[in-house]
Structure 1
């Protein structure tokens, strides 16, 4: 039994079918079968399928005696499928390199859900590729698997079958099959999502959806587009047969109305003499499936009063109506803003709530980092204080169930800012927030600073020219406490942000996980990322370059791995300020982890860090794993941004100044030799004196419980036992196997 059955129907796609099948057969993950269905195609599709089947036993050809249509061709393949999971791929689309490996890894990570939803990109004949605009709905953060009720936004995705993996037992148990006619994906996709007990997402483009210049079904003019009416009848019949799904009827009704309006208004779909008939039948469907409530937008009016002349009248008045709507929307936003400001002023006059604390990071980002670690400590150590997390809608699902979720700008948000006693952030709260007497604001910052910050950037070429210094200092004046991991950080914060705050030099809460994680946690995280067993995982995490528009220092991942050999894997994490690094290649040894918001999990999963001026090195040092400093622009970075000390004089490990030298560091074993260990020990003692796993506890006891005289004793770095690396340092590569450019002598270390 293979892991995947990839179903590929083919009809009049001879120009694209070879590329489609090749994209599947050349996947790095090989545990699959391909069921290629020749739907009695009049071109060479059948011959192409037979040619591939003759060359590769994983391809199973099916030839239908007559043209059955896309849906029934898929049904014919379903009868023959034997894989654990079903994947559908249209004959003119392709899988992206490494897609099956990532799908398999995500399925394993999420305990084999009924359905896994992944992303796609539209590829045009011009060569342009555009990712799905709703990609944020596929965020992998938060509990998984889940039910559709937990993330209803998935219903907003394109109604297609090929952006999902389906557990075959689930499909067979529910009796799902494709109906005949156009829009056959609609009565499959909606019932499948509604009926699945377990769902998961994969935030990765796995399919390239070809946008053909001519010849696509949806771009053809035909009465077959009337089939969309019958397909929605099937969707609502499924709801009628399953009363427990009745609460989804309003959402599906609105999707139906929008879909029918789209079919009607696209001039290239319906024959001219059938448009009035379609509108009349759409009106009947509107009445048949209507849910209570007034029409919300013009398309509802179009379908509800579905007469052809009515539509012409609506079209004639739509232009000024849109202007009126825009004006009304602007007016509504202004009135809402005024109402919220009035609400906030009222809340500011009400008493503070001593049992409330509000947290956030990065302007409403995903749950985590120092604020997330502190929020968790609040719930554990002072459970009488109710906590809330401010998150934008796309990140709400990452917040723990026990924590209240707040949307930025909402009335509840302003209430929390006005009346919560404790406010925790790693950046700045809303400019309009008023810090009240009695409120305690904890500024966590984002790590130990190496690059210059705050006022120390004045006069630097890379200093932000449009920074409002007065605003920055006003914000610093609201800080009661600033977290610090070491004496170096304390001195920097007090100088770069001169204000009256108290520095809590207790360690960084986000690093507590390094002391508590186990070997089993490390193994699980590596499996989640798709790191092969017995591989040395290099985490490459460069910092932001103010002086470079093109992004981080150049590094050729394929060349690096080719020189180092098959045992090494590279995890590439781009700084959020720059574009993403290369994605996973066909070899599967370069893995883009830029979309993973939890940097701590990446550190735990890796065996060695390669970075430049990034503060991640100070966090990573807590794991007592090798660190290699690689930068090809020392002098430029120093001259533009500037650092607080010369890293070359006090490094956490070996140093490389160019790619050949980096290869030499790894090939020669200097990345994890005894000298590297001694440098790392000194670095830990200086910059990680308090990160023993209890930083969050110390902060909560100090700030909330007032235990200034008592703190949990700090475990010295030498006595700590952080989470072990998955792989021990391998022996050095024999010199004879190291390519000549990498064997050149290193003239100086400049330590």
Structure 2
């Protein structure tokens, strides 16, 4: 008996079917069967199914004599299922890599619940990916529960394919799909309300394809009237189970919202049928109305409903018009930014970091040092929204981007410190000083060098970027490599300031970090930090180069694997493709959301990275670094790099997972050769990082005081130690 039975109904999907089946058969977890149901498809889908069944015994094909529709095609597959758990996969969707293993592990962990709900992502025909907007519901609890204990589970999309069902539970309750559109509704509500044990998996296990054309529920048809019969079935089920009577008000409201949503969509119903659809919805709403429930818009006529809709549209259009007027006024105000009279405020410093996301990176280090040694300077942070502002310490003065106060302060500030460019509307006033800190030592092509890399500059206006860089007065550098690159990549009239990287002061000076304690990392564990960068050769930027669970297991019980994805991937679907679930299960620690990367670096005993600039910062700690370069050729071809990091590496280089695993199993990651390579690398790329970079910026660039230049590291050829020689 297999662990899983996957039922895959097929109709007119020959263009997507192979990708769907491959996503199942290529899973690392192998204990499953596929029951593919050919719903009398007029295209080549049936032949494709037979082809797969001929070469893989796990695939069984049912050819139906007539087309019965999606729900009854699933029903046809149910009697043939022998697995412990059922999964339903639509034949134009795909499983994500490792999905079945994650589902199997979570089922075992929760003692085989009746239903396991997992996450999904919408994948669009134009290449975009968007995670389920209610993903946080799946991480609300780690325990097994009922729908009554966590009713928010019913707010998720009412679909059948984001769940695994215990087959005995389905059989005992006789759950089946009805005919018609919206067949998932009278399946999902009874199943979820009747389940005694529900568990969740906070991992994207399925890619829900958003087809440009061909989505049944997006077509204009009277078949959308089926939704009424589907909800009637839901209420009949509740009436036959008195213990569920308390759910009637919720279901009544849900039904009304669902039906009105269909009515509001411009492409669902023929125009002549909309009045009839409203009347039938209102009849159903009144028929199943719980005591005390308001009828709302469904208590009136279709004409009154349309008047309300029109009034709402006019209000929205008026709101949009008002918004356009406000934006135009703001644009005029921004264009007028440099014109206010009066002298610059010599003590006002405007800070921003990571596109206005709060106290981070080099600007934060400069700000803190300025508060310490130059309290007469007034530092104000520019933040993008109220949510970021709420996360700031209470004593940090801030202003919202594009607010009138921001425009006033930007026009008066003597100093502006940022690690990315200020908005284009900010015009540099004569006498103001712009300090650009950058965001690390460059390995990948940037600025004007991207003009020869069209894939890497997708959506990036390089000429506009350079016009913004024209405002820089000082460009901070941590080494002469950076100095040369910035002057080439940004051909503008700034001066290079050999200050070092302010955010790296804490790495040079050392110091305690609370990271290990906050994440419960046992004392004595070797912390391995894996910090990959994003890729330009795939949309979205995320490519899973390493099986994280396997790597964590291979490292051994006395190691903790910490993972930090590129900052650009913090809010995207990448973490939902397994990282969040591995973190929850204690297999790895997900540090992607940590705002201060320095805390993570201080906690790590060794860094494993590919082409991330974090290696240049981490080298200041003089701890082992391993470069995992399994796609170096593709990366350099798509993005371009300023040096061959595989030839000038800060430590050993692995080009396959097997090589990486051997480095750690043998201890080679911290041998004498690793130390020698690191010493040479540190001497070149940590050249001006002496622990006083932030002080140097404040004293020399903000206060105009003299200060000795940074010391320069020179490696000792024999021992590989660092010596200091003054510049």
Pairwise TM-score range, normalised by the shorter structure: 0.5 to 0.7
In structure 1, what is the Cα distance between the partners aligned to 2:652 and 2:204?
41
Residues 468/716 of structure 1: CA separation in 2 closer, same or farther (3 Å cut): closer
What is the deviation of 1:658? Answer: 0.8
SS in 2 for 1:649: coil
* Residue in structure 2 matched with residue 637 of structure 1 by the alignment: 635
Q: Per-residue displacement from partner, 1:538-571 (whole Å, max 9, x unpaired)?
A: 1111122212347335211233233332222222
What is the deviation of 1:700? Answer: 0.9
In structure 2, what is the Cα distance between the partners aligned to 1:216 and 1:535?
53
* Residue in structure 2 matched with residue 482 of structure 1 by the alignment: 475
What is the deviation of 1:441? Answer: 1.1
Q: Per-residue displacement from partner, 1:262-301 (whole Å, max 9, x unpaired)?
A: 7998979996168698477x9xxxxxxxxxxxxxxxxxxx
Is 1:471 aligned to residue 464 of structure 2? yes
For the Cα contact (< 8 Å) 2:629–2:646, is it kept in 1?
A: no
Residues 265/648 of structure 1: CA separation in 2 closer, same or farther (3 Å cut): closer
For the Cα contact (< 8 Å) 1:220–1:268, is it kept in 2?
A: no
* Residue in structure 1 matched with residue 368 of structure 2 by the alignment: 376
Q: Per-residue displacement from partner, 1:498-549 (whole Å, max 9, x unpaired)?
A: 1110111111111122244424x2xx21122343333222111112221234
Is 1:452 aligned to residue 445 of structure 2? yes
| Structure 1 stretch displaced more, 457-466 or 376-385 | 457-466
* Residue in structure 2 matched with residue 570 of structure 1 by the alignment: 561
Residues 207/689 of structure 1: CA separation in 2 closer, same or farther (3 Å cut): closer
SS in 1 for 2:633: helix
Is 1:498 aligned to residue 495 of structure 2? no
Residues 92/541 of structure 1: CA separation in 2 closer, same or farther (3 Å cut): same
TM-score (norm 2): 0.59
Superposed, which structure 2 residues align to 1:236-635 within 5 Å? 272=286, 278=292, 308=299, 315-344=305-334, 345=336, 348-351=339-342, 352-393=344-385, 394-460=387-453, 462-464=455-457, 467-519=460-512, 521=513, 524-549=514-539, 551-552=542-543, 554-577=545-568, 579-580=574-575, 582-583=578-579, 584-585=581-582, 588-635=586-633
For the Cα contact (< 8 Å) 2:351–2:417, is it kept in 1?
A: yes
Residues 681/336 of structure 1: CA separation in 2 closer, same or farther (3 Å cut): same
* Residue in structure 2 matched with residue 181 of structure 1 by the alignment: none
In structure 1, what is the Cα distance between the partners aligned to 2:357 and 2:333?
25
Residues 218/692 of structure 1: CA separation in 2 closer, same or farther (3 Å cut): farther
Superposed, which structure 2 residues align to 1:153-232 within 5 Å? none
In structure 2, what is the Cα distance between the partners aligned to 1:371 and 1:464?
25
What is the deviation of 1:119? Answer: 11
SS in 2 for 1:446: coil
* Residue in structure 1 matched with residue 649 of structure 2 by the alignment: 651
What is the deviation of 1:94? Answer: 11
Is 1:711 aligned to residue 708 of structure 2? yes
SS in 2 for 1:436: coil
In structure 2, what is the Cα distance between the partners aligned to 1:456 and 1:481?
20
Q: Per-residue displacement from partner, 1:468-497 (whole Å, max 9, x unpaired)?
A: 332122112111111111111011101111
For the Cα contact (< 8 Å) 1:694–1:712, is it kept in 2?
A: no
Superposed, which structure 2 residues align to 1:133-148 within 5 Å? none
What is the deviation of 1:316? Answer: 3.2
Is 1:127 aligned to residue 127 of structure 2? no
Residues 226/660 of structure 1: CA separation in 2 closer, same or farther (3 Å cut): closer
For the Cα contact (< 8 Å) 1:279–1:308, is it kept in 2?
A: no
SS in 2 for 1:507: coil
For the Cα contact (< 8 Å) 1:264–1:279, is it kept in 2?
A: no
For the Cα contact (< 8 Å) 1:121–1:205, is it kept in 2?
A: no
* Residue in structure 2 matched with residue 179 of structure 1 by the alignment: none
SS in 1 for 2:468: helix
For the Cα contact (< 8 Å) 2:688–2:710, is it kept in 1?
A: no
Residues 570/216 of structure 1: CA separation in 2 closer, same or farther (3 Å cut): farther
What is the deviation of 1:640? Answer: 3.0
SS in 1 for 2:663: helix
* Residue in structure 1 matched with residue 676 of structure 2 by the alignment: 678
Residues 91/469 of structure 1: CA separation in 2 closer, same or farther (3 Å cut): closer
SS in 1 for 2:560: strand
Q: Per-residue displacement from partner, 1:217-249 (whole Å, max 9, x unpaired)?
A: 999699967989xxxxxxxxxxxxxxxxxxxxx
For the Cα contact (< 8 Å) 1:515–1:693, is it kept in 2?
A: yes
For the Cα contact (< 8 Å) 2:498–2:709, is it kept in 1?
A: no
In structure 2, what is the Cα distance between the partners aligned to 1:219 and 1:686?
72
Q: Pairwise CA RMSD of aligned residues?
A: 4.5
Residues 436/400 of structure 1: CA separation in 2 closer, same or farther (3 Å cut): same
For the Cα contact (< 8 Å) 2:370–2:698, is it kept in 1?
A: yes
What is the deviation of 1:618? Answer: 0.2
* Residue in structure 2 matched with residue 190 of structure 1 by the alignment: none
What is the deviation of 1:587? Answer: 5.8
TM-score (norm 1): 0.57
Is 1:91 aligned to residue 146 of structure 2? yes
What is the deviation of 1:388? Answer: 1.8
SS in 1 for 2:562: strand
Q: Per-residue displacement from partner, 1:381-411 (whole Å, max 9, x unpaired)?
A: 2222222222233322232322222222222
SS in 1 for 2:497: strand
SS in 2 for 1:458: helix
What is the deviation of 1:23? Answer: 6.1
* Residue in structure 1 matched with residue 109 of structure 2 by the alignment: 26
Aligned residues: 496
Q: Per-residue displacement from partner, 1:35-56 (whole Å, max 9, x unpaired)?
A: xxxxxxxxx99xx9xxxxxxxx
In structure 1, what is the Cα distance between the partners aligned to 2:320 and 2:396?
33
| Structure 1 stretch displaced more, 651-660 or 457-466 | 457-466
What is the deviation of 1:610? Answer: 0.6
* Residue in structure 1 matched with residue 188 of structure 2 by the alignment: none
